[in-house]
Protein backbone atom coordinates (compact mmCIF):
# COMPACT_ATOMS: atom_id res chain seq x y z
CA UNK A 1 0.00 0.00 0.00
CA UNK A 2 1.99 2.99 -1.30
CA UNK A 3 -0.60 5.37 0.15
CA UNK A 4 1.30 5.19 3.45
CA UNK A 5 4.46 6.75 2.01
CA UNK A 6 2.38 9.29 0.09
CA UNK A 7 0.68 10.41 3.31
CA UNK A 8 4.01 10.63 5.13
CA UNK A 9 5.29 12.94 2.37
CA UNK A 10 2.04 14.92 2.47
CA UNK A 11 2.40 15.47 6.23
CA UNK A 12 6.01 16.64 5.76
CA UNK A 13 4.84 19.05 3.06
CA UNK A 14 2.12 20.40 5.37
CA UNK A 15 4.62 20.90 8.19
CA UNK A 16 7.06 22.67 5.86
CA UNK A 17 4.35 25.03 4.61
CA UNK A 18 3.17 25.73 8.15
CA UNK A 19 6.71 26.62 9.26
CA UNK A 20 7.19 28.94 6.27
CA UNK A 21 3.94 30.73 7.15
CA UNK A 22 4.43 30.79 10.95
CA UNK A 23 1.32 28.65 11.39
CA UNK A 24 0.80 26.44 14.42
CA UNK A 25 -2.24 24.53 13.24
CA UNK A 26 -3.52 23.16 9.95
CA UNK A 27 -7.30 23.01 9.74
CA UNK A 28 -7.90 21.58 6.28
CA UNK A 29 -5.87 19.83 3.57
CA UNK A 30 -7.37 19.48 0.11
CA UNK A 31 -5.83 17.13 -2.43
CA UNK A 32 -6.72 16.18 -5.98
CA UNK A 33 -6.42 12.47 -6.78
CA UNK A 34 -6.36 11.62 -10.46
CA UNK A 35 -8.37 8.60 -11.56
CA UNK A 36 -5.25 7.26 -13.29
CA UNK A 37 -2.86 8.07 -10.42
CA UNK A 38 -3.00 4.57 -8.97
CA UNK A 39 -3.93 6.05 -5.59
CA UNK A 40 -7.09 5.09 -3.73
CA UNK A 41 -8.69 8.07 -1.92
CA UNK A 42 -10.17 5.73 0.71
CA UNK A 43 -6.73 4.38 1.65
CA UNK A 44 -5.26 7.90 1.64
CA UNK A 45 -7.93 8.90 4.17
CA UNK A 46 -7.21 5.93 6.42
CA UNK A 47 -3.45 6.50 6.29
CA UNK A 48 -3.86 10.24 6.90
CA UNK A 49 -6.09 9.66 9.93
CA UNK A 50 -3.54 7.18 11.30
CA UNK A 51 -0.34 9.18 10.75
CA UNK A 52 -1.61 12.69 11.56
CA UNK A 53 -1.72 11.94 15.29
CA UNK A 54 0.92 13.94 17.15
CA UNK A 55 1.67 16.21 14.18
CA UNK A 56 0.62 19.73 13.24
CA UNK A 57 -2.20 18.02 11.33
CA UNK A 58 -3.58 16.26 14.42
CA UNK A 59 -7.04 17.86 14.03
CA UNK A 60 -6.90 18.41 10.28
CA UNK A 61 -9.71 17.53 7.92
CA UNK A 62 -8.51 15.85 4.72
CA UNK A 63 -10.58 16.43 1.61
CA UNK A 64 -9.66 14.21 -1.32
CA UNK A 65 -11.31 15.18 -4.59
CA UNK A 66 -11.25 12.73 -7.46
CA UNK A 67 -9.91 14.27 -10.70
CA UNK A 68 -11.47 12.99 -13.91
CA UNK A 69 -9.35 12.06 -16.90
CA UNK A 70 -9.06 14.85 -19.46
CA UNK A 71 -7.62 14.24 -22.92
CA UNK A 72 -6.38 16.43 -25.74
CA UNK A 73 -6.70 15.06 -29.26
CA UNK A 74 -3.58 15.75 -31.28
CA UNK A 75 -5.55 15.45 -34.54
CA UNK A 76 -8.71 17.53 -34.07
CA UNK A 77 -7.78 19.54 -30.90
CA UNK A 78 -10.76 18.21 -28.93
CA UNK A 79 -10.21 18.61 -25.21
CA UNK A 80 -12.52 17.07 -22.66
CA UNK A 81 -13.20 14.42 -20.06
CA UNK A 82 -13.47 10.76 -20.83
CA UNK A 83 -15.67 8.68 -18.57
CA UNK A 84 -14.57 5.22 -19.62
CA UNK A 85 -11.11 3.75 -20.05
CA UNK A 86 -11.38 4.05 -23.81
CA UNK A 87 -8.58 6.33 -24.90
CA UNK A 88 -10.04 7.39 -28.23
CA UNK A 89 -11.16 10.89 -29.15
CA UNK A 90 -14.96 10.99 -28.91
CA UNK A 91 -15.10 13.60 -31.67
CA UNK A 92 -12.89 12.20 -34.47
CA UNK A 93 -12.22 8.66 -33.14
CA UNK A 94 -8.43 9.15 -33.29
CA UNK A 95 -6.18 7.38 -30.81
CA UNK A 96 -3.57 10.16 -31.14
CA UNK A 97 -4.45 11.68 -27.79
CA UNK A 98 -2.61 13.03 -24.79
CA UNK A 99 -3.84 12.77 -21.19
CA UNK A 100 -3.67 16.29 -19.72
CA UNK A 101 -5.34 15.70 -16.34
CA UNK A 102 -6.13 12.76 -14.12
CA UNK A 103 -2.75 11.10 -13.66
CA UNK A 104 -1.47 13.10 -10.69
CA UNK A 105 -1.91 13.51 -6.98
CA UNK A 106 -1.66 17.17 -6.05
CA UNK A 107 -1.89 19.27 -2.92
CA UNK A 108 -4.46 21.89 -3.85
CA UNK A 109 -5.18 23.88 -0.71
CA UNK A 110 -4.09 24.27 2.91
CA UNK A 111 -6.02 26.16 5.60
CA UNK A 112 -3.82 27.05 8.54
CA UNK A 113 -3.53 29.49 11.40
pLDDT in tens, 67-109: 999 999 999 999 999 988 899 999 999 999 999 999 999 999 9
- Predicted local confidence at residue 1, as pLDDT: 55
In terms of pTM, does the model score above 0.85?
yes
Distances (CA, A) of 78 to 65, 68, 81, 100: 25, 16, 10, 12
pLDDT at residue 41 greater than cutoff 60: yes
Q: Please, what is the average pLDDT of the chain?
A: 95
For residue 60, the tally of other CB atoms under 10 A from its CB is: 21
Residue 87 zone, left/alpha/beta (φ > 0; ψ -120 to 50; rest) = beta
Q: In 10 A of CB 85, how many CB atoms?
A: 8
Amino acid sequence: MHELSIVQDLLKLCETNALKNNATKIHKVEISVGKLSGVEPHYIQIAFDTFKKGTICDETQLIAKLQDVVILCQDCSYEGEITENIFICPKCKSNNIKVTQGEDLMLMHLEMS
